Amino acid sequence: MNKEYAVLTSKLGDLQKRLKRINKVAGKLGVTPITLTALGTYVEVDRDATVKARRDNPDAPDVLRERTTIQIEGETPKLDGGYTFVARIDPDGIVFGAPDAPDVPDALVDRRGSCDHCHLDRKRTATFVVADADGNMALVGRNCLGDFLGAFANDPHSVWKYLEDWEILTSEGANEATFGSAGDVMHSPLDVLTATYQVIRAYGWLGAGVAYQNPGLGTPTAAHVRTLLHDTDGKRLADIKRDIASIKIDTDRIESALEWARTNDGKSDYIRNIRTLANGDAVGYKHIGFVASIIPAYDKSVQWETERFEKAKAKADRPESNWIGKVGERVTILGARLDSMRELYSDWGVSFLLKFTDASGNDITWFASRDDICEVGETVDMKATIKRLDTYNNRKQTIVNRAKVVN
């Protein structure tokens, strides 16, 4: 990038020092250094300073400033490889992934604190995960992160503005801004889930992400729980206590949800996070959101298991399926219920896979060219030609074509 700027001449030396530091980074990374070229100077009236001077002395002369027009050529130094940010791992092994980022392997989480770039292994407030264009992940410490992503403090096209305003670039060496702290107060996972249960019963469940994307929708559940557990007074706390006062706590459900989180062997970042926190002795302020989400996640898991069981039972209770007729025979099928319909795409266009069960419990499949035969769940009589006799999932099925509804 090649751009021109106007900087106060008095600050030109500071800008050159900053670019010299950036070029040290460029040299370390083996990338093209930044160049600065002074194109000329001019003098202008500093209107703000002049107005201020004339408050005390109406006859004060104009305040003049000399500026130097400069040209900065170059980009923020960073390693080649198309690196992107994947996640931040805190000292407890909790992973805060970027939106749509892949899950972080357990092996990297277990090595948190080490840096694959500078090869230093130490206790860190955070370790970061980056990935190259091929998806290969690496652990990186805070001071090395800019080498992969391009540190803001090393952006030559932003530095001049900060120097112009005489501000300090705080991104270098800054401590991580922790989301909430509420001192050192911590609570057991069971206490957090109990408070969460009460809040959900009072207000319903609202995830922080949904609330953030939909302003005005309401206060996230985790925010109510933080207020309940960490605030000591205030109207908001009083309102929540009033709203949950009459709620009867379902101890069995809460303990079942906690046990589910403790024993869940899933491999995703989310499951690993809640498993770690559920098995811990205490939960801090910033991790309450993860623990609060255990109850709705558990409820959804129970729902899925129930639906899976009911589907399996329904399949097991089905009568034996037999073939109908002979290949090429035109038959009448009575009481055919449409169980499912699915669109299929090919070079020849769209077709529809229709699955029927007739009155005797026999499975019938029809690859139709249209989807207005009947509605799913509807029962019809039809005539069809037997195309093939097949077996699928250990059940005999009759494949038909040229089907026609006759009722």
> What is the per-residue DSSP string for 238-279?
HHHHHHHTTPPP-HHHHHHHHHHHHH----SHHHHHHHHHHT
**Same domain (yes/no): 287, 359:** no
The 10s digit of each residue's pLDDT in 186-212 is 899 999 999 999 999 999 999 988 888
Same-domain pairing of 395 and 337: yes
Q: Among 68, 83, 85, which residue's Cα sits nearest to residue 129? A: 85
Let me know whether 159 and 47 are in one domain. yes
Together in a domain, 348 and 385 = yes
Confirm whether 241 is domain-assigned.
yes
Specify the range with the lowest mean pLDDT, choosing from 43-47, 56-60, 132-136, 209-213: 56-60
Question: Residue 311 domain-assigned?
Answer: no
Residues 6+ apart with CB under 8 A from 313: none
Q: Indicate whether 37 and 159 sit together in one domain.
A: yes
Using a cut of 0.85, tell me whether the model's pTM lies above it: no
| pLDDT tens sequence across 150-168 | 776 666 766 555 454 433 2
Q: Tell me, what's the pLDDT at 100?
A: 80
385 — pLDDT class (breaks 50, 70, 90): very high
The two tokens of residue 181 are: 């702290």
Look at residue 95 in the predicted model and tell me its pLDDT: 92
- Token pair for residue 251? 């101890």
Is position 238 within any domain? yes
Domain match, 50 and 160 both: yes
The domain tally of the chain equals 4
- 307 found inside a domain: no
| 8 in any annotated domain | yes
pLDDT in tens, 214-258: 888 899 999 999 999 988 788 999 999 999 999 999 999 999 999
More confident residue, 114 or 1: 114
Q: Is residue 183 part of a domain?
A: no
**Binning pLDDT at 50, 70 and 90, where does residue 346 land?**
confident
**Range among 176-185, 227-236, 341-350 rated most confident:** 227-236
Q: Does residue 88 lie within any of the structural domains?
A: yes
Tell me what pLDDT residue 89 has. 93
pLDDT at 327: 94
Residues 202 and 223 in one domain: yes
Please indicate, yes or no, if residue 177 is contained in any of the structural domains. no
Q: Are residues 103 and 73 in the same domain?
A: no
* The pLDDT of residue 174: 28
Instruction: Using the predicted structure, report yes or no on whether residue 170 has a pLDDT greater than 90.
Output: no
pLDDT higher at 291 or 174: 291
DSSP summary character for residue 128 = E
What are the distances in angstroms from CA 397 to CA 78, 139, 384?
61, 53, 14
* Averaged pLDDT for residues 266-293: 92
Same domain for 160 and 53, yes or no, is: yes
Residue 38 pLDDT level (bands cut at 50, 70, 90): very high
Same-domain status, 290 and 359: no
pLDDT of 407 strictly over 80: no
Same structural domain, 227 and 258 = yes
Q: Select the highest-mean-pLDDT range: 10-24, 25-39, 189-203.
A: 189-203
Residues 199 and 294 in one domain: yes
Q: Strand pairing partners for 390?
A: 397
Domain that holds residue 194: 189-301
